[in-house]
Amino acid sequence: MRYKLILDVKRGDFDAAGEASRKIKDILQQLGVSSKVIRKVSIAGYEGEMNLAIHSLGGKIILEVGEEELSLTIKDIGPGIDNLDLAMTAGWSTADDKVRQMGFGAGMGLFNMNKHADNFLITSKIGAGTKIVMKFSLE
Amino acid sequence: MKVSDLLEKKEFKCLNPQIGVEGVIESGYVGDLLSWVMANAGSGCAWVTIQTHVNIIAVASLLEMTCVIIPEGAEVEESALERAIIEDIPVIITNLNAYEVCKILGNAGI
Ligand SMILES: Nc1ncnc2c1ncn2[C@@H]1O[C@H](COP(=O)(O)OP(=O)(O)OP(=O)(O)O)[C@@H](O)[C@H]1O
Ligand SMILES: [Mg+2]
């Protein structure tokens, strides 16, 4: 392991939003990761971060950088997702009017994460929480 | 086209010119749904959006956009401007609508 970082994301914290993704981007730049990979990680990380702020009760983003790949783990303490197939469907969203007015709630976040990560795994349990593990090859 | 070239037109005003406006606009993107923008906007673009909160700066910075253009006289939130100064993203306002902004960018060869 070359680098590990754990960042907290609070529920409803829109004004801080993007700060975890920003930190991750800065670190990957310092580590000399290619801009192509940084772009993918930034997109997936931001979507994950915003989902924590909007839909979860709070959670963590864990960045682990190895020699050949890096992983981004996004996990929260609830409420969990009832139907993962539905949640992964582009365009499906439970976002309320307030966040929709801010431009969230297109139902594209999980879809984007899946698309940009080289490997994407999501598990969720109602009452327990959601965990997403994304892997990105460093090429 | 540089941001400074766009600002020479009287219709456009930069709210945070102190950060420097020499960035090059390589392309344009229009959109208000952040996940669509996140997935599809290119780096180096001018992003036209009516969203005015701090998250637009997060998106613009993560995607390494050149500037954000807010059309139709919408008022930009103070927290967004503060963040834009930190993140080095010029925020430009105009009374034109998004289509008219794009027309100007297009005519300039973008
Ligand atoms: N961490 C989470 N905890 C609970 N529910 C979640 C979580 N992440 C996503 N969801 C559920 O899955 C749905 C789809 O998520 P997705 O990120 O794809 O879209 P969105 O957040 O609604 O909109 P967008 O990401 O386009 O702004 C959400 O509307 C929400 O119901
Ligand atoms: Mg989302």
* Pairing of the two strands A69-76 and B27-30: unpaired
Assign residue A77 the CATH number of its domain: 3.30.565.10
**Residue B84 · residue B90 · CB < 8 Å:** yes
Question: Is B43:B27 a contact under the CB 8 Å cutoff?
Answer: no
Peptide bond into A79 cis (omega under 30): yes
Query: Is the model's pLDDT at B91 over the cut of 90?
Result: yes
Between CA B52 and CA B18 the distance in angstroms is 20
Describe the strand order of the beta sheet including A3-9 as a list of residue ranges. Answer: A3-9, A59-65, A69-76, A129-137, A119-125
User: Burial letters for A93-126: b for 16+ Cβ neighbours within 10 Å, e otherwise?
Assistant: bebeeebeebbbbbbbbbbbbbebbeebebebee
Identify the residue whose tokens are 């975890």.
A20
pLDDT number for residue A30? 97
**Residue pair A44/A117 in contact by the 8 Å Cβ criterion:** yes
Q: For residues A52-89, b (16+ Cβ closer than 10 Å) or e, as one string? A: bbbbbebbbbebbbeeeebbbbbbbbbbbbeeeeebbe
Percent of the residues in chain B that have a pLDDT greater than 90, as a whole number: 100
Question: ipTM strictly over 0.90?
Answer: yes
On chain A, the residues whose CB falls within 8 A of the CB of B62 are 18, 21-22, 25, 42-43, 46
Q: How far apart are CA A68 and CA B52, in angstroms?
A: 39
The Cα–Cα gap between B52 and B34 comes to 12
The reported pLDDT for the residue numbered A15 is 79
Across the interface, whether the CB atoms of A115 and B43 are under 8 A apart is answered no
Q: Give the phi and the psi of residue A122 in degrees, each rounded to 5.
A: -125, 135
Range of the domain at A56: 3-137
Phi, psi for A67 (deg, rounded to 5): -80, -45
State the Cα–Cα distance between residues A15 and A12, nearest whole angstrom: 9
Is residue A109 within 8 angstroms of chain B, CB to CB?
A: yes
Structure tokens at A99: 């966040």
Q: Can you give the pLDDT at residue A139?
A: 78
Output the pLDDT for position A89: 97
Q: What is the pLDDT of residue B93?
A: 98
**Per-residue pLDDT, A127:** 95
Q: Which of B32, B34, B49 to mutate to test the interface with A (most CBs of A within 10 A)?
A: B34
Nearest CA in chain A to B62: A42
* Domains: count for chain A: 1
- State residue B87's pLDDT score: 95
Residues of chain A with pLDDT under 70: none
Contact A112, A74 (CB under 8 A): no
**Residue B99: its pLDDT value, please?**
98
Read off the tokens for B8.
């020479």
pLDDT of residue A81: 98
Distance A101 CA to ligand 2 centre (A): 14
Average pLDDT estimate for B25-44 = 97
